[in-house]
Amino acid sequence: MRGKLMIGNWKMNGSLAANASLLTDLLADSVDVYCRSAVCVPSLYLAQMQSLLTGTSIALGAQDVSAHEDGAYTGEVSATMLRDFAVRYCIVGHSERRQYHAESDMLVASKAQRALAAGITPIVCVGESLAEREAGQTEVVVKRQLAAVIHANGHCISEIVVAYEPVWAIGTGLTATPEQAQKVHAVLRAQLQVATAHADRVSILYGGSMNAANAADLLAQTDVDGGLIGGAALKAPDFLSMLKTASR
Which residues are marked as active site?
94, 165
- d(CA 95, CA 98) in angstroms, rounded, equals 5
Other Cβ atoms closer than 10 A to 121: 20
Kindly list the distances between the CA atom of residue 140 and the CA atoms of 60, 69, 230, in Å, as whole numbers in the listed order. 32, 31, 25
Sequence-distant (6+) residues with CB within 8 A of 235 are: none
Is there a contact between 110 and 122 (Cβ–Cβ < 8 Å)? no
Kindly list the distances between the CA atom of residue 149 and the CA atoms of 50, 97, 120, in Å, as whole numbers in the listed order. 28, 16, 15
Is there a contact between 70 and 78 (Cβ–Cβ < 8 Å)? yes
Is there a contact between 79 and 115 (Cβ–Cβ < 8 Å)? yes
DSSP 131-195: HHHHTT-HHHHHHHHHHHHHHHHGGGGGG-EEEE--GGGSSSS----HHHHHHHHHHHHHHHHHH
Sequence-distant (6+) residues with CB within 8 A of 72 are: none
